[in-house]
Amino acid sequence: MPQSGMSTEPTLTRRILDMLEARGVYHRVLRHPPVRTSEEASRLRGTALEAGAKALVCHADQRIVLIVVPADRRLDGRAFKQQTGVRNVRMVDAGEIEALVGAPVGAVPPFGSLFGLTTYADRAVVARAEIAFNAGARDLSIVMDGRDYQKLEAPVLGDFAERGAAP
């Protein structure tokens, strides 16, 4: 049974919750002090660091895409390019992110479909029984099953994260 317990939240957060509730996806909503790092978020959520789904807004050649990797890892740009045929990949400037997706850096949810962006996800994200992510605000997180995330978002899957790398 879906649960949100939210009464007032940012518009982007409401869109995510409406999507989860409309599809009957079980999830938990957590309010916490604002976070700046994946480590802080993990500690306040009470979830494993590797459960964090870090959403990166990137330029991939001439397109803007969303790439989701586990919070305990970095994007492996070389692996991403090899697996997708993209020649150049780089992060979108932090100043542009809020204008593009309606959320500040660190609060971008892993749903590129909400912004008309293709979503790429590391296989480790969708394989997890529990993923956690900030949902449009740095003080609000959603926890859900990675397999439900895969069914809902249908991201392009690959091995896009550096293995064994620190965040």
- Three-state secondary structure readout of the chain: CCCCCCCCCCHHHHHHHHHHHHCCCCEEEEECCCCCCHHHHHHHHCCCHHHEEEEEEEEECCEEEEEEEECCCCECHHHHHHHHCCCCEEECCHHHHHHHHCCCCCCCCCCHHHHCCCEEEEHHHHHCCCEEEECCCCCEEEEECHHHHHHHHCCEEECCECCCCCC
Give every residue of the chain whose pLDDT is below 50, as ranges: 1-7, 165-167
Question: Taking the model in full, what pTM does it have?
Answer: 0.91
- What pLDDT is stored for residue 8 in this prediction? 52
Supply the CATH classification number for the domain 11-158.
3.90.960.10
